[in-house]
DNA sequence: TTCTACGATGGACAACATAG
DNA sequence: CTATGTTGTCCATCGTAGAA
């Protein structure tokens, strides 16, 4: 098994992390942030689990497509010789129950039926493949990755893989006969190239520069560090690395703002002298202009998703 | 161990470029 | 013109790696 497209923190989650350390969130945004964070943890767990897939196959993670003006996302795809496996990973924790085809948490709040979500993406995926001249057999699975998940009134549905079934499901996957050829790589490339991009900025809470807390955040625990750049969590960082990381955060949060020495000095809230900031900027980036309109050219690592 | 040299840092200040 | 922001230079201080 080969991972053709690894999983990264999504731009939106990245932005939310940057923002969350610097401002309070309205309750809806906070929930959304926590859900994304939890979902990502689940996907990471799934990635660890999927390392044991030993068949000749290709894995593509986090695919985002648009078919018929509808956007859908797939957590993970495994291309084998005869079958394209689609995995929707859920990191649900605790007790849930089913009434008919309605899903509830034990406290009684209703959640979106993940099976509908799964069927929907299978339909769309099938169509996407057909549009591109493929007619591959698709199998979709809903993977509950968290061992502390339980579903009362669970139906007998082979598309659902509960935590206790993960090992046997893996065995089953590994018994899938599979020998890939160039066509499969072509299919994988097609899928990667047919992706769509969504602006990560649309669904963020409102924020403005003046109301964000300034300073340098520890990349691990996301709390502010003091002038020593030694975090309470034990993480320690070289000055230039810390400043460059902070510039990166600023760049993500304010893609249209010009990067100047003073701006970054203020953003890092005097953790380092303005002279040091300038030196680090000058050592790492091109400078354009002079005086008031002068600024550094800091490349942004994503260019299709901006705005 | 102590000493030394060097690079990184930071303060002060003058010179320069541009917006308004 | 002034205000703002950047650059370059000079110089003192600090921490540390390597020499003595």
A217 and A268, same domain (yes or no): yes
pLDDT of residue A249: 87
Same domain, A153 and A48: yes
- Are residues A30 and A148 located together in one domain of the fold? yes
Query: pLDDT tens, A265-285?
Result: 878 876 777 777 877 887 777
A189 and A255, same structural domain?
A: no
Q: How many domains does chain A contain in total?
A: 2
Residues A21 and A151 in one domain: yes
| Residue A109 falls inside a structural domain | yes
- Give domain status of residue A239, yes or no: yes
Could you tell me if A188 and A104 lie in one domain? Answer: yes
And the tokens for A180? 């890939």
Which domain covers residue A219, as residue numbers?
209-297
- The reported pLDDT for the residue numbered A51 is 96
Q: Which nucleotide is nearest to A275 (CA to C1')?
A: B10
User: Would A305 be classed as within a structural domain?
Assistant: no
- Do A225 and A170 belong to one domain? no
In a domain, A55, yes or no: yes
A9 shares its domain with A142:
yes
- How far in angstroms lies nucleotide B19's C1' from the CA of residue A265? 22
- Cβ-contact A89, A43 below 8 angstroms: yes
| Domain membership flag for residue A35 | yes
Q: What's the CA A275/C1' C10 distance, rounded, in angstroms?
A: 14
What does the radius of gyration of chain A's CA atoms come to, in whole angstroms?
23
Same domain, A30 and A159: yes
Q: Please give, one letter per residue, the 3-state secondary structure of chain A.
A: CEEEECCCCCHHHHHHHHHHCCCCCCHHHHHHHHHHHHHHHHHHHHHHHHCCCCCCCEEEEEEEEEECCEEEEEEEEEECCCEEEEEEEECCCEEEEEECCEEEECCCCEECCHHHHHHHHHHHHHHHHHHCCCCCEEEEEEEECCCCEEEECCCCCCCEECHHHHHHHHHHHHCCCCCCCHHHHHHHHHHHHCCCCCCCCCCCCCCCHHHCCCCCECCCCCCECCCCCECCCCCECCHHHHHHHHHHHHHHHCCCCCECHHHHHHHCCCCCCHHHHHHHHHHHCEEECCCCCCEEECCCCCCCCCC
At A91-122, the pLDDT tens digits run: 999 999 999 889 999 988 999 999 999 999 99
Tokens standing for residue A40: 């990502």
- DSSP conformational letter for A24: P
The pLDDT assigned to A243 comes to 81
Residues with CB under 7 A from strand B: A 239-240, 272-276, 279-280, 289-293
For residue A299, what pLDDT is reported? Answer: 72
Q: Which pLDDT value is given to residue A120?
A: 95
Using the structure block, give the residue that is written with the tokens 């691990």.
Answer: A220
Which residue is it, tokens 């767990």?
A45
In a domain, A302, yes or no: no
Instruction: Give the residues of chain A that fall short of pLDDT 50.
Output: 302-307
Residue A299 phi, psi dihedral angles, 5° rounding: -65, 140
Strand C contacts (Cβ < 7 A) comprise: A 260-263, 275, 278, 281-282, 287, 290-292, 294-295
User: What does the block give as tokens for A268?
Assistant: 């890092």
CB half-sphere exposure, A28, CA atoms < 13 A = 4
A276 plus A244 within the same structural domain? yes
Report the 10 Å Cβ neighbour count for A39: 17
A199 inside domain: no
Q: How far is the CA of A292 from the C1' of B14 (A)?
A: 18
A190 with A132: CB under 8 angstroms?
yes
**Does residue A174 share a domain with residue A230?**
no
A79, two tokens: 């291309």
The predicted structure's pLDDT at residue A245: 85
CB-proximal positions of chain C, under 7 Å: 3-9
Burial class (CB in 10 A: 0-12, 13-18, 19+), A100: exposed
The tens digit of pLDDT for each residue in A150-183 reads 999 999 999 999 999 999 999 999 999 999 999 9
What is the pLDDT, as a whole number, of residue A281? 80
Q: Considering A193, A223, A250, which residue would you say is the last residue of a domain?
A: A193
Distance, Å, A231 CA → C14 C1': 22
Which pLDDT value is given to residue A300? 65
Say if A290 falls within a structural domain: yes
| CA→C1' distance for A228 and B19 (Å) | 38
Backbone angles phi, psi at A228, to 5 degrees: -75, -15
């Amino acid at each position: 098994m080969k991972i053709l497209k690894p999983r990264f923190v999504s731009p939106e989650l990245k932005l939310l992390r940057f923002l969350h350390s610097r401002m309070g969130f309205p309750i809806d945004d906070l929930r959304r942030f926590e859900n994304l964070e939890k979902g990502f943890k689940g996907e990471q767990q799934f990635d660890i689990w999927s390392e044991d897939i030993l068949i000749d196959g290709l894995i593509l993670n986090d695919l985002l497509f648009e078919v018929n003006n509808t956007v859908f996302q797939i957590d993970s795809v495994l291309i084998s010789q005869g079958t394209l496996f689609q995995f929707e990973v859920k990191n649900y924790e605790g007790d849930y129950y089913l009434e008919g085809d309605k899903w509830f948490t034990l406290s009684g709040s209703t959640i979106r039926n993940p099976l509908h979500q799964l069927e929907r993406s299978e339909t769309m995926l099938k169509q996407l493949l057909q549009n591109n001249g493929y007619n591959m057999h698709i199998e979709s699975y809903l993977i509950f990755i968290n061992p502390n998940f339980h579903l009362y009134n669970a139906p007998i549905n082979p598309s659902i893989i509960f935590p206790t079934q993960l090992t046997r499901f893996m065995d089953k996957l590994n018994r899938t006969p599979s020998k890939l050829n160039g066509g499969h790589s072509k299919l994988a490339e097609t899928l990667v190239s047919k992706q769509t991009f969504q602006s990560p900025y649309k669904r963020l809470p409102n924020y403005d520069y003046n109301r964000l807390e300034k300073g340098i955040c520890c990349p691990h625990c996301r709390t502010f560090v003091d002038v020593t750049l030694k975090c309470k969590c034990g993480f320690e960082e070289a000055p230039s690395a810390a400043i460059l990381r902070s510039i990166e955060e600023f760049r993500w949060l304010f893609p249209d703002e010009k990067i100047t020495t003073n701006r970054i000095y203020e953003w890092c809230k005097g953790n380092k002298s303005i002279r040091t900031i300038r030196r680090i900027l000058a050592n790492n980036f091109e400078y354009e202009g002079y005086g008031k309109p002068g600024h550094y050219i800091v490349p942004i690592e994503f260019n299709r998703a901006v705005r």
